[in-house]
């Protein structure tokens, strides 16, 4: 796993939310899927931003990293907690813990780029951000550099059709939907247990894109690249065990 996961802060804003793992969130064996975990993380992050008394503009996810100690199962009630864990000039990092019966079973870090709402160009962190989230971040600086390597060679690709349910209110493929490709690969490999996973978003995917996947072996698991033509729009690394 490439992304550092810092501990929960002793001071500063931490937002919490409870979520139950439902029938639509799990694999046939009852374990929560990666896309479901991503939705829970998205939900508590939205709760944090919408309940803050500050105008935050537009934020676009650039990376989501997961460390899974134990996959939650059907009907588990999860306590979600999230906080700001680092900042940069035009981006910020959010840490999220998913706890079950007091034990953290999933830890996540997300990197978000701040955009100007009129031009969608990268923009400085908005005024008032530090007053709300700065204490939890404790001055930690984070880089926005993406680190996944390129797809190897001219390997064969497979078509990955987009569904209407993948598209969000902005007309883009929601960041949670990309994880369906990783779930498909886990099934193909007859693997169900995931120790860690990381998704990096570059150009992202839009409604109408013709998407192809390239999958390759990666240390401890596999890698996936999401292509539109010759352009890599996103990539995933998954460390799994049988």
Hey, where are the domains in the chain?
A: 15-137, 158-241
Residue 69 above 90 pLDDT?
yes
In angstroms, the CA 70 to CA 31 distance is 9
Count of residues in the chain: 242
The band of 117, judged by pLDDT with boundaries at 50, 70 and 90, is confident
Mean pLDDT along residues 28-39: 97
Q: What distance in Å separates the CA atoms of residue 121 and residue 124, rounded to the nearest whole number?
A: 10
Fold matches, 15-137 and 158-241: yes
How far, CA to CA in Å, does 58 sit from each of 47, 55, 90, 143, 154?
15, 9, 11, 19, 36
Instruction: Provide the pLDDT for residue 106.
Output: 98
Q: Kindly state the helix (H) or strand (E) to which residue 131 belongs, with its residue range.
A: helix 129-137
Q: CATH number of the domain at 158-241, please?
A: 3.10.129.10
pLDDT exceeds 70 at position 1: no
**Helix/strand/coil (H/E/C) assignment for every residue in the chain:** CCCCCCCCCCCCCCEEEEEECCHHHECCCCEECHHHHHHHHHHHHHHHHHCCCCCCCEEEEEEEEEEECCCCECCCEEEEEEEEEEECCCEEEEEEEEEECCEEEEEEEEEEEEECCCCCCECCCCCCHHHHHHHHHCCCECCCCCCCCCCCCCCCCEECCCCHHHECCCCEECCCCCHHHHHHHHHHCCCCEEEEEEEEECCCCECCCCCEEEEEEECCEEEEEEEECCEEEEEEEEEEEC
Q: Interhelix angle for 34-50 vs 179-188, to 10°? A: 160
The CATH topology of domain 15-137 is Thiol Ester Dehydrase; Chain A (3.10.129)
Query: CB-based burial of residue 159 (10 Å sphere; 0-12 exposed, 13-18 middle, 19+ buried)?
Result: exposed
pLDDT at residue 240 tops 80: no
Q: Tell whether the model's pLDDT for residue 63 goes beyond 90.
A: yes
Q: Is 193 helix (H, G, I), strand (E, B) or coil?
A: strand
pLDDT digits (tens, 9 = 90+) for 102-115: 999 999 999 999 99
Average pLDDT, the chain: 94
242 pLDDT above the threshold of 70: no
Check: pTM over 0.85? Answer yes or no: yes
């Amino acid at each position: 796993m490439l992304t550092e996961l810092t501990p929960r802060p002793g001071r500063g804003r931490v937002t919490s939310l409870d979520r139950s793992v439902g029938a639509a969130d799990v694999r046939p064996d009852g374990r929560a899927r990666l896309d479901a975990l991503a939705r829970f993380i998205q939900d508590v992050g939205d709760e944090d931003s919408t309940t803050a008394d500050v105008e935050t503009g537009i934020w676009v996810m650039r990376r989501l990293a997961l460390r899974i100690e134990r996959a939650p199962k059907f009907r588990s009630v999860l306590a979600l907690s999230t906080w700001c864990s680092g900042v940069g000039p035009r981006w910020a990092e959010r840490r999220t813990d998913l706890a079950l019966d007091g034990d953290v079973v999933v830890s996540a870090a997300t990197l978000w780029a701040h955009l100007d709402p009129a031009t969608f160009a990268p923009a400085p962190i908005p005024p008032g951000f530090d007053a709300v989230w700065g204490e939890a971040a404790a001055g930690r600086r984070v880089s926005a550099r993406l680190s996944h390597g390129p797809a190897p060679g001219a390997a064969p690709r497979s078509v990955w059709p987009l569904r209407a349910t993948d598209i969000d209110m902005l007309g883009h493929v929601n960041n949670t939907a990309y994880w369906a490709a990783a779930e498909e690969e886990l099934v193909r490999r007859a693997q169900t247990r995931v120790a860690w996973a990381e998704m990096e978003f570059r150009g992202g995917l839009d409604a109408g894109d013709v998407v192809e996947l390239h999958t390759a072996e990666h240390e401890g698991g596999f890698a996936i690249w999401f292509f539109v033509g010759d352009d890599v729009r996103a990539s995933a690394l998954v460390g799994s065990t049988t």
